[in-house]
Each structure stands twice: as C-alpha cells, then as structure tokens.
C-alpha cells in the first residue's frame, strides 16, 4: 500500500519549517508502520523550493496571488496569477491524487487546498498563530481537521474540529549541544553570559537599530550572537565597525571580543546558537517562540508592530503568561532593551522552568499520527 500525502504552504519560514517538521515525522512513522509513503510539496516561493530540495521531497511550484493589506500595483498584477495558479493546482493535484492534504497556511497553500477539495480529498490544516491568517480562515470552513498552536485561536474555527497541539518543530533544532562546545563554535568564552539576538528568517531592522545603540553597554556584561538578516548584514556590519573604530582604545576591544554578527543561520547553526545562549531576544513568530520554549530559553520578545492582524503581538502576549518578557516596538529603546535583558538573565533559572510550560515539542508527532489515522485503506 502506498500512502500519498500532499503538503502545502508558502510564504515565510513560519509556514514552511513546520511543514518540513511534519514531513520528517511522517517519514519516521511510515517506516515504523512498514508502509510506503509518497510525499509531495506544492506551493510558492524560493524558500519552499529550496527547503523541499534539502529534505528530498518533490516540489511543484504554484503561481499564487498574494493580497497585500496596503495599496500596491502588485495586487493588480497578482489578480492574473489566480486563474493560472488554480489550473496548475487542479492539474498537479489530479496527477498526484493524494489520500489527504495537509496545509500549513500562507498564500501558497490556498489554491492547492481548494483544488483538493474539488476532488473531494480530505483536508487538514494547521494554524500557527494566535490570530489566524486569511488562507486558513477560508480553508478552515472546508477542512476535516484543524490543528492549532494556541488555545485562544479555537474561536475562529469550528471548535469541534480543532485540536490544540502546538507548533511543529524541526527535529534538528531540538538536538541540544553542550554549551561549551556551542560557544567554541562561535569563538566565544565558555564562562561568560551570552545573549542570542535574532530577527527570525528575515531579520528585524528595529531590533538591529536598538542593539547597535546598546552594543557598548551590552558587551561590557554579555557576549552577543546577533543574526541580523541577509538584507541588513552590510549596514549593520558597517555600523559596528565604525563603533569599534571610534572606541579603539576603550570599548572597541570588548565589542570585538564579545560580539559575533551573522546574516542568517542554517538549521545546525541555529541549534548551536540556541545552545550557546543564556537569554534569547527574538521577534514573535510562532515558530521562534515554540522553539525557544521547547529548549527552555529565557526570552525577551519584541513582536513586529505591523504583522498581519497584529498576530505577533497576540503570540507574544500568550507567551508572556509563561514568563517571557515582551517589549512592544513603540517602547523599544536601548535603555529598556539593556534593562530587560539584564532582568531576564538574573532570573534565568526560574524563567527557564516557567517557559518550558509553554512548550509542546510533540506537535509534529501528533499531527503525523492523526494524518495517517485519517487515511482510509483503499
């Protein structure tokens, strides 16, 4: 018996990496059950194509319109993508004819999921955030099962169909490396407190700006691993070099010794950065905060101000109930950032235990099991 499962999603890493986590788990469970599984990924975007290749799953690109919440000529252009993407989806789904579709949301997920329902293929969705995206709001009405990361999001869907599971996390993130080895990989001292500052997959300009303004004071007390985003790397690096040069005989030496700048991390580097850190400063995408919680990392969370439906602030507020400190962007200053990092570091042991209470590291496993259970033997 060959089980065919279509995975779909697209847009940001927040939609894509949980999809990969579920795919990894499905492969493991199929092997354990002695069944043959055929996985394919349909969606849109270079990141999804690249990640699909990395995990060895066939990818089909679907031309997907994205409706922006602001006036843009691109909205007009994207209207013409709709019929093309729809017929692409119909053709690819018809050729594959999966037993079930698992959709992670995002603009790249809608058309393949809709095509699947036209062929009466069961649809299961997962909503990562505390406020659902538009694609999942629509797809939820035609889904047989709805997995959610936050209990508060149930109210947006048919409650009887929803199940709280948390956000799927790639297994590689959960491979804990001992702190000393992780710090060695970054060329940092094993005995010094260390902060990881990350803007998730795209970086975060406001966090970068606040960190640059704080760097002299922070590096007096902490080692800093800073992932700034590829598009921001050159600008951040130039500003840091200018500060080091300005304080060449004073604070510049501490910055050179204690600060490490990266544009982005692959999976292994991200796991090392988490393992090296005592406190994490991050945006509030569901993927990041569930990773932080699973690893029990004390956290200072700075949700992006203009996220869709302000979902990052909603995510952050839920996380704060378990001990994370939240700084809203309007309140973000170098002084506040330094103070809140210091508070979290001083309270790190208690904070770590409390934050672990938010974690749901078995999300991918639970989703994989339920998907396989829902497939009717042919």
Report how far residue 8's alpha carbon sits from residue 98's, in angstroms, rounded to the nearest whole number: 12
Give the pLDDT confidence of 357-375 residue by residue, as tens digits: 999 999 999 999 999 999 9
Distance CA 198, CA 228 (A): 6
- Give the contacts of 17 (CB within 8 A, at least 6 positions apart): 51, 170, 287
pLDDT category at 72 given cuts 50, 70, 90 is: low
Q: Are 10 and 48 in contact (CB under 8 A)?
A: yes
CA distance 117 to 139: 10
Tens digits of residue pLDDT in 300-328: 999 998 887 899 999 999 999 999 999 99
Residue with tokens 């594959």: 96
pLDDT of residue 81: 74
Average model confidence (pLDDT) across the chain: 93
Confidence of residue 15 (pLDDT cuts 50, 70, 90): confident
Which of helix, strand or coil describes residue 301? Answer: strand
pLDDT at 75: 62
Residue 120: is its pLDDT beyond 90? yes
CB 206 within 8 A of CB 213: no
User: What per-residue confidence (pLDDT) applies to 376?
Assistant: 74
Q: What is the 3-state composition of the chain as percent helix, strand, coil, each rounded to the nearest 5?
A: 55, 15, 30
Better pLDDT: 201 or 98? 98
β-bridge mates for residue 194, sequence order: 223
Q: What is the CA radius of gyration of the chain?
A: 22
What's the pLDDT tens digit per position in 253-278?
999 999 999 999 999 999 999 999 99
Residue 204 pLDDT class (50, 70, 90 cuts): confident
Cβ-Cβ contacts under 8 Å for 345 (sequence gap 6 or more):
193, 195, 222, 278, 279, 298
Quick check: 221 pLDDT over 90? yes
In the chain the beta strands, taken as DSSP E runs, fall at 2-10, 36-44, 58-61, 100-103, 123-127, 145-148, 162-164, 194-198, 223-227, 259-262, 279-282, 299-301, 325-326
> How large is the average pLDDT for residues 125-149?
96
pLDDT score of 6 more than 90: yes
pLDDT, position 10: 78
Cβ–Cβ under 8 Å, residues 130 and 156: no
How many other C-beta atoms lie within 10 A of the C-beta of residue 76? 8
Q: Of 193 and 134, which is predicted with more confidence?
A: 193
pLDDT for position 106 = 87
Please give the average per-residue pLDDT across 95-124, as a whole number. Answer: 95
Q: Is the pLDDT of residue 27 over 60?
A: yes
Q: Give residue 66's pLDDT.
A: 67
Helix, strand or coil for residue 337?
helix
Domains of the chain and any CATH numbers: 2-169+361-374 (3.40.50.2000), 172-356 (3.40.50.2000)
Examine the pLDDT at 26 and tell me if it is beyond 60: yes
> In what order do the strands lie in the sheet containing 2-10?
58-61, 36-44, 2-10, 100-103, 123-127, 145-148, 162-164
- Is the per-residue pLDDT at 336 higher than 70? yes
pTM: 0.93
């Amino acid at each position: 018996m060959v089980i065919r499962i279509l995975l779909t999603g697209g847009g940001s890493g927040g939609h894509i990496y949980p999809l990969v986590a579920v795919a990894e788990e499905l492969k493991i469970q199929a092997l354990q059950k002695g069944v043959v599984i055929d996985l394919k990924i349909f969606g849109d975007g270079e990141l999804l194509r690249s990640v699909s290749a990395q995990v060895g799953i066939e990818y089909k690109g679907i031309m997907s319109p994205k409706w922006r919440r602001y006036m843009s000529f691109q909205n007009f252009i994207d209207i013409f993508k709709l019929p093309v993407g729809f017929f692409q989806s119909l053709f690819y789904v018809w050729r594959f004819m999966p037993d079930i579709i698992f959709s992670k949301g995002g603009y790249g997920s809608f058309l393949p999921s809709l095509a699947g329902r036209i062929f009466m293929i069961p649809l299961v969705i997962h909503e990562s955030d505390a406020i659902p995206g538009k694609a999942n709001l629509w797809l939820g009405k035609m889904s047989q099962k709805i997995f959610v990361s936050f209990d508060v999001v149930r109210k947006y869907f048919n409650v009887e169909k929803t199940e709280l599971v948390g956000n799927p996390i790639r297994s590689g993130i959960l491979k804990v490396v001992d702190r000393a080895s992780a710090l060695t990989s970054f060329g940092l001292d094993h005995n010094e407190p260390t902060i990881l500052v990350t803007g998730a997959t795209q970086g975060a300009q406001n966090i970068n700006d606040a960190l640059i303004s704080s760097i002299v004071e922070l590096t007096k007390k902490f080692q800093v691993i800073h992932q700034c985003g590829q598009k921001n790397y050159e600008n951040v690096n130039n500003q840091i070099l200018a500060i080091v040069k300005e304080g060449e005989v004073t604070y510049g030496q501490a910055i050179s010794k204690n600060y490490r700048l990266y544009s982005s991390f692959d999976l292994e580097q991200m796991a090392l950065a988490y393992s090296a850190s005592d406190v994490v400063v991050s945006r509030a995408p569901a993927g990041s905060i569930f990773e932080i919680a699973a690893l029990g990392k004390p956290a200072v969370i700075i949700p992006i101000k203009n996220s869709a439906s302000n979902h990052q602030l909603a995510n952050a507020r839920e996380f704060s109930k378990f001990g994370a400190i939240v700084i809203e962007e309007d309140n973000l200053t170098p002084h506040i950032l330094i103070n809140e990092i210091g508070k979290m570091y001083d309270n790190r042991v208690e904070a770590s235990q409390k934050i672990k209470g938010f974690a749901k590291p078995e999300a991918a496993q639970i989703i994989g099991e339920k998907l396989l259970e829902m497939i009717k033997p042919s």
